[in-house]
Structure 1
Amino acid sequence: MSTNPNSPSHREGRLAGRTALITGAGLGIGRACAVRFSEEGARLVLTDIDPINLAKTRALLAPGCEVLVHVADVTEETQVAELFSHADAFGPVEILVNNVGGGRPGRIWDLSVEDWDHTMRLSLRSMFLCTRAILPGMIERGYGRIACLSSGARNGTVWNALHMGACAYSTAKAGVTGFVRDLAIELADSGVTINAVAPGPIDTELAGPFLRAMEEQGLDYSPFRMVPMHRLGTPREVADALLYVCSQEASYVTGTTLDVSGGR
């Protein structure tokens, strides 16, 4: 038996002894989720398309966190298969966070088919491929937690819609909710739960400057004015919600979409 006080068997926390795979872990919410989960004792499999950002995330993890880093494009079936082959060798993955998403903005009359397909690929294809890959093992073991990133945009977000148009992104994030609702029913007797977390305007490296610029321009639909709490959320606040739905505390919670949106 290991006598290292920082080994997974000795570390404490709400995810102690659990292995979590987080996609899009190089920036923003994915990075915050990795850090938060490491603080709660999880072993981590982190993946992103950018190796430099992945390395930066790894450097921020809690001391003693056991981690496997794997560069992959999780919209590609063959790369997802390779990712999960490496993850299985690391140990049984009991938690999956489908964080990869995004898309190209634009009014519908300006959107190309490529723009539309690119958005669906990022948010929906990646979620489908990773969930499909992980479920057989979770079902066999009778335990699993899956969390998917939706968005307040699933209901239409005023600042996105009025500023630049975002129907493709809103459609994709609404699709996450449907995905979670159906699979929660399919998996109800399996010991596996699946939920979504829907962030509002979050101060990430990519979105923060864009959202703050709306307020600086005095736009009536700035999220600082539209959100009742009159501020942007932080990536850590979203990570805290992801921690909840991936913890034992949420054992009777499945098929839900939890808003983290400042009251919006």
Structure 2
Amino acid sequence: MEQTDVVEEGVEMGRLANRIGVVTGAAQGIGRAIAISLAEEGADVVLGDIDSQGLQETARAVSALGRQARTVVGDSTEAEVANALVDVAVQDLGRIDILVNNVGGARVGKIWEFSDEDWDFVIRLNLRSMFCCTRAATPHMIAQRSGRIISISSGARHGSPWQSYYLGASAYSTSKAGIHGFTRDVALELSEYGINVNAVAPGPILTERGREYFSAHEQDEYSAKKMTPLRRYGEVKEISDVVTFLASDEASYITGQTIDVNGGR
């Protein structure tokens, strides 16, 4: 585990002025977009990922907006790393107001061919980081009687035809459904402390990885674009905008919800 920091002075105000956020999986894609969006609204952020180079690029983007960025390089499915992310926020930046659980990923395969190893990998990746980071953050949020916890689920929690028919994605769909259940339960556990817990469920989004996949399957009968009523893919900013809204005071009466951002699918 390696810790570094990138800091630049700035005083831009916004909906999240003077708040401190932690974002996991922040080295690229949706995670990077979320970190930048939080910074644009005035938050300082602690960024976590296993990709040190990508993490530094995100930190530089945050710093260029005049906000403070810290990075923790490591696997946040490990409790030690999850704890370090929260500790850096509290010890270096003073508190933790926002936690965004964005770490996730998939391995594909039809159920009759799927290995124990691949199943365990996907379930761990999509659920354990969320659990470890939330567990680490909640005592601080309870003490200050405020906080926002936002996890990235997926439309795949209902099953995604473009994955299921052609590749098989039962582990991914199962884990993303688990995020919905976790969100509902933890929202109830923390409601008396003024902590809002929600999830965002993206549809097909043009991340670095998504572009390659969607391009390869564009002509499939059940392609992602054909199965999406708006007939287009989503952009990462369309996810980060909703996460930022949920982190703000504008969403103060929303908790225990999974918000679909999926083009109507």
**TM-score, normalized by length of structure 1?**
0.94
| CA–CA separation in structure 1 for the residues paired with 2:263 and 2:146 | 32
1:89 corresponds in structure 2 to: 91
* Equivalent residue letter for 1:141: Q
Shift of 1:188: 1.3
| CA–CA separation in structure 2 for the residues paired with 1:43 and 1:86 | 12
Shift of 1:87: 2.3
* Equivalent residue letter for 1:75: T
* Equivalent residue letter for 2:30: I
SS of the residue 1:224 aligns to: coil
2:26 corresponds in structure 1 to: 25
Cα deviation 1:35-89 (Å, max 9, x = unaligned)? 1111111011111111011011122224211111111210111222233222221
Which is worse superposed, 180-189 or 254-263? Answer: 180-189
Amino-acid identity (%): 49
8 A contact 1:146–1:195 mirrored in 2: yes
8 A contact 1:72–1:83 mirrored in 2: no
8 A contact 2:20–2:89 mirrored in 1: no
**TM-score, normalized by length of structure 2?**
0.94
| CA–CA separation in structure 1 for the residues paired with 2:152 and 2:85 | 20
| CA–CA separation in structure 2 for the residues paired with 1:239 and 1:132 | 23
Shift of 1:180: 0.4
SS of the residue 2:208 aligns to: coil
Shift of 1:139: 0.5
- Choose which of 67, 70, 74 in structure 2 pairs with 1:68: 70
* Equivalent residue letter for 2:112: W
Cα deviation 1:99-137 (Å, max 9, x = unaligned)? 001121111111111101100111101100000000000
1:3 corresponds in structure 2 to: none
| CA–CA separation in structure 1 for the residues paired with 2:12 and 2:18 | 8
| CA–CA separation in structure 2 for the residues paired with 1:135 and 1:190 | 10
1:229 corresponds in structure 2 to: 230
1:128 corresponds in structure 2 to: 131
Shift of 1:167: 0.3
Q: Does 1:156 align with 2:190?
A: no
Q: Which runs of no fewer than 5 residues in structure 1 stay unpaired? A: 1-5
Which is worse superposed, 63-72 or 163-172? Answer: 63-72
| CA–CA separation in structure 2 for the residues paired with 1:66 and 1:139 | 24
Superposed CA RMSD in Å reads 1.3
Shift of 1:183: 0.9
* Equivalent residue letter for 1:257: T
SS of the residue 1:187 aligns to: helix
| CA–CA separation in structure 2 for the residues paired with 1:235 and 1:225 | 19
Q: Does 1:190 align with 2:193?
A: yes
8 A contact 1:24–1:30 mirrored in 2: yes
* Equivalent residue letter for 1:116: W
| CA–CA separation in structure 1 for the residues paired with 2:115 and 2:260 | 30
| CA–CA separation in structure 2 for the residues paired with 1:193 and 1:152 | 21
Shift of 1:220: 1.0
Q: Which runs of no fewer than 5 residues in structure 2 stay unpaired? A: 1-8
Runs of 4+ with deviation above 6 angstroms: none
8 A contact 2:23–2:48 mirrored in 1: yes
